[in-house]
Amino acid sequence: MPCNLYGFLVTDFGAKGDGVTDDTAAFQAALEEAGKSRGTVFVPDGTYLCADLKMPPHTGLVGNATWGYREGGGSVLKLNNPAATCLLDITGAVGATVNGLSLYGDQLGEGIHGIHMGELAEKKEEDTPRIERCHISRFTGDGIRLAPVWCFSVRGCEIIFNGGNALYVRGWDGFILDNWFSGNEGSGYLADGPNASVTMTGNRIEWNHRGGIRIYGGSHYNITGNYIDRSGGPGISLYPRDGVGCLCVTITGNIIYRSGKPEWTTEQYDSAHVRFEGARGLVFSGNSMCLGQDDGGGLNSPEYGIVLRALKSAVIKDNTMHLGALTELLVDLGEHGEGVIIADNVGMVHTEREKGVWESPER
């Protein structure tokens, strides 16, 4: 079937987009045809019911990104199979682009992901998926799960209200830029397998139940200029994986606000803006942290500002915590190796916990 100005129109392959018809077969046929010429499938406005769509290498799936903060819009792909693995499978789809779509999980099934890249034994080159301007919501698993992935970018997306993490990564060489990771039951970003060489800049990571950014044993991260708000647990946490701590991490110029939401935080030192354990080659500098309560009032948090243990060759310096915590601004649990500088982290505690004492300046 010939393509047009927009690429291959999925409606030319029989997709209805009426919110009633199962459009899975039509989408798959369009993607397979586009794969023959490294082409793009365009998705007009509508609601398309589908599941487990498999993207071929070097294809695009592009729609109209007119979604809002709390709901999708424009080109909507809605999950219709509670036994699916995911809505969109990009495993093996080297050079794939997903742009301008609303992916809606409808809270179907258990552990179903919005976009999934899985194992591929014959992987020989960089994956290079580009996921841009997408709204990904209400999946029972992760919004995006890349496990494993080698070279990727996630830009300008909103990943919200999912049962797992907004973005789960097991892999390397990523750019995570200008996204909203909001209201997910897991973390905003989680990497607990092999992970390295990731840049995270300009993201708003908020109201995630298990924490904002959570990294286990990762290396070579640049985490700069993000806004991290109302996390359950630390806004940013670095932990060892298999006994090996994170390596070569720079965290600068972030705003970290209202961490350790009491209803979502159970462990003592997770009621903190940041928690760093076992990291080597860490720079944490130029960040500003402040406690706060829910938008409608309630309890202030966190108890602690910065929690540290067993660092080596690390600089924790020149951060501010004005009204930074309820109990203690900096908790040093010791066990550090050589070359650790902890200095000039200024601020003040604020001991009042109840509603009305500290009103959020945001609303």
Q: Which of 284, 129, 305 is nearest to 221 (CA)?
A: 284
Do both 23 and 172 map to the same domain?
Answer: yes
* In the block, residue with structure tokens 């993000």: 226
Q: How high is the pLDDT of residue 354?
A: 74
User: What does the mean pLDDT of the chain come to?
Assistant: 95
Give this prediction's pTM: 0.96
Asked if residue 203 is part of any domain, the answer here is no
Query: What percent of the chain stands above pLDDT 90?
Result: 92
Q: Are 48 and 77 in contact (CB under 8 A)?
A: yes
What would the mean pLDDT of 198-224 be, rounded to a whole number?
Answer: 98
Please name which of 144, 113, 111, 112 lies closest in space to residue 129, comparing C-alpha atoms: 144
Residue 246: what residue type? C
Residues 14 and 150 in one domain: yes
DSSP 8-state class, residue 244: B
d(C-alpha 267, C-alpha 167), whole Å: 23
pLDDT bracket for residue 4 (50, 70, 90) = low
Is 132 found in the same domain as 74?
A: yes
| Residue 121, pLDDT above cutoff 90 | no
What's the confidence (pLDDT) of residue 124? 85
Confidence at residue 363, expressed as pLDDT on a 0 to 100 scale: 47
| Same domain for 288 and 155 | no
Please indicate, yes or no, whether residues 119 and 224 belong to a single structural domain of this protein.
no
Rounded Cα distance, 56 and 31, in Å: 7
Q: What is the pLDDT of residues 6-30, one digit of tens each?
A: 689 999 999 999 999 999 999 999 9
Q: How many C-beta atoms lie closer than 10 Å to residue 18's C-beta?
A: 11
> Does pLDDT of 56 surpass 80?
yes
For residue 134, being part of any structural domain is answered with yes
**Integer Cα distance of 151 and 54 in angstroms:** 19
pLDDT value, residue 361: 53
Is position 207 within any domain? Answer: no
Q: What share of the chain is helix, strand, coil (3-state, %, to 5)?
A: 5, 50, 45
> What pLDDT does residue 357 have?
46
Structure tokens at 204: 């708003």
Looking up residue 21, the CATH number of its domain turns out to be 2.160.20.10
Number of domains making up the chain: 2
- Among positive and negative, which fits the CA dihedral 294, 295, 300, 301? positive
Residue ranges of alpha helices (H) inside the chain are: 24-35
Domain hosting residue 6, numbered range:
1-185
Same domain, 174 and 38: yes
- Round to whole Å and give the CA distance between 331 and 71: 40
Token pair for residue 270?
A: 């997770």
- Residues 292-351 have pLDDT tens digits of 999 989 999 999 999 999 999 999 999 999 999 999 999 999 999 999 999 999 999 998
Looking at the fold, whether 328 and 229 belong to one and the same domain comes out as yes
DSSP secondary structure letters along 318-330: S-EEEEEESSEEE
Report yes or no on 193 lying in a domain: no
DSSP single-letter state for residue 185: S
CB-based contacts of 253, cutoff 8 Å, min separation 6: 224, 225, 286, 287
Nearest C-alpha neighbor of 197 from the set 222, 214, 217: 222
Nearest to 81 by CA among 91, 93, 89, 90: 89
End-to-end CA distance of the chain: 53
Is residue 126 scored above 50 in pLDDT? yes
| Phi, psi for 312 (deg, rounded to 5) | -150, 135
- pLDDT tens per residue across span 216-262: 999 999 999 999 999 999 999 999 999 999 999 999 999 999 999 99
Residue closest to 247 by CA, chosen among 204, 276, 212, 205? 276
Residue 356 has pLDDT above 70, yes or no: no
**Confidence band for 205, pLDDT divided at 50, 70 and 90:** very high
Q: Give the pLDDT of residue 362.
A: 52
Residues 244 and 146 in one domain: no
Give me the pLDDT at residue 352, please. Answer: 86
Indicate whether 355 pLDDT > 70: no
Does residue 195 fall inside a structural domain? no
For the ranges 63-72, 76-85, 191-200, 354-363, the lowest mean pLDDT is seen at 354-363
Residues 246 and 148 placed together within one structural domain of the fold: no
* 123 and 244 housed in the same domain: no
Is residue 202 included in any domain, yes or no?
no
- Domain presence at residue 197: no
Average pLDDT over residues 105-124: 95
Do 172 and 24 share a structural domain? yes
Task: Name the nearest CA neighbour of 87 among 63, 40, 56, 55.
Answer: 55
- Asked whether residue 236 is assigned to any structural domain, the reply reads yes
Q: Parallel, antiparallel, or unpaired for β 167-177 and 195-201?
A: parallel
6/56 same-domain check:
yes
Q: Is 315 exposed, middle or buried (0-12, 13-18, 19+ CB in 10 A)?
A: middle
**Is residue 278 over pLDDT 50?**
yes
Opening angle at CA 162, ends 304 and 258, nearest 5: 20
Mean pLDDT of 110-116: 98
Give the mean pLDDT of 185-191. Answer: 98
Longest C-alpha distance within the chain, in Å? 68
